[in-house]
Amino acid sequence: MKAFVVEKYSDAAGMRAAEIPDPQVGADDVLVKIHAAGVNPLDMKIRNGDLKVILPYRLPLVLGNDLAGTVVRVGSSVDRFVVGDEVYARPDKDRIGTFAELLAVHQDDLAPKPATLTMTEAASLPLVALTAWQALVERAHVQPGQKVFIHAGAGGLGSIAVQLAKALGAYVATTASTAKVDLVKELGADEVIDYRTQDFTEILHGYDVVLDSLGGENLAKSLRVLKPGGQAISVVGPPDPATARELGSNPVVRLAVTALSAKTRRQAKRLGVTYAFLFMKASGAQLRELTPLIDAGKIRPIVDRVFPFDETLQAMEYAEKGRPKAGKVVVSMT
C-alpha cells in the first residue's frame, strides 16, 4: 500500500511517499480502508523529533493521527464491527499511521462514524474532539454555569472545545483574531477577546477552567485569570510528572519532565490554582459519547481545506505555516 513515511527526524525533507506492506490484522483489530485523515500539529512535532523524549518512536514511521473510513476486514475476536461499517478513530499512540491507504486499529479505539458527517468532516474530529472531551469532561468535570476560557477558539481544537463547553452548560470565553470573532460567536462563545488588540488578563477574571493550546507566556498569563481552586489544562505546555508516569517513561525521563514543568507548577501553587498537561489518549467509547452531540448539531466540524492524498506533504506545510483560516486541514484518499 501507499503511505507517507518519516525516515529521519527532520522537517519536510525527512518524509516521503513510499510503498509499504499492508498492515497485519490481530485478533482484536479492525482493518480500515482510509477515506480521509486529519492533519494535526502533533504530526509535525513527531516528524521533527520534538516529542522523542516522551514518545520514542522507531523510524521509519507513518504519520497521521485521525481517520475516517470503511471496515474491510475484522480480526477473529472483533464483535463490534463488520465489513462495510463506516468508522472514525484516533488510533492509539503506538499505532498511528493514518497517512496511508489502510490501517489496522484496535476495536476499542474505533467508533461508528457520525451519520450526519461526510468522511472528510469525520476525519477532522477524533483527535481534537477527544482532547476537548478529556480536558473538559474527564479532567475538569465542567458543570453548568461554570466559566471556561478556551484559547484560539477558531483553531482545530478550540473550535470543538468551545462547542463542547457550551453543550456542557458553561459560560465560555475565547480568543480570536478580528476576522474570526463572528465565527467563534456562531460556535457559541459568550465572550470573545480580540488577541490583536486586547489583553485577556485585563478582561477575564474568576474562571474555573482554562484550556491552553498555545503555551509559553500565554500559559503563564492564563493562570492569573483563574479563581482559587481553578484548573489550567494545557496540550502544549511542559509535561508534568503525571504525564511521564502515564506514558511509562523511565526514571531519568521522569526527572527531566518534572524539572521542565516545575516553574509552571510553582507559579500555579502560588496562585492557589492547579496546572496539568494533557496528552490525549485514544478511546472509541468517548467517541461514542461525542457522536450524539455531533449528530444533534451541537458540535460541528470546521474544515478549512481538503488536500488530495498525493499532496499530503503540501497539506502538512499548509497547516504548519498557520495558513488555515479556521478549523482543520484534511487529506482525502478518494
The pLDDT score that the predictor gives to residue 259 is 83
For residue 295, the model assigns a pLDDT of 97
Least Cα distance to 90 among 112, 68, 121, 57 occurs for 68
pLDDT of residue 14: 77
pTM: 0.95
What digits encode the pLDDT tens for the residues 76-114? Answer: 999 999 999 999 999 999 999 999 999 999 999 999 999
> What residue spans in the chain does CATH classification 3.90.180.10 cover?
2-125+283-332
**Packing angle of the helix pair 312-320, 41-48 (nearest 10 deg):** 100
Residues of the chain with CATH 3.40.50.720: 140-277
Q: Which fold has domain 140-277?
A: Rossmann fold (3.40.50)
CATH of domain 2-125+283-332: 3.90.180.10
What is the reported pLDDT for 46? Answer: 93
| Residues in the chain where the model's pLDDT stays below 70 | 247-248
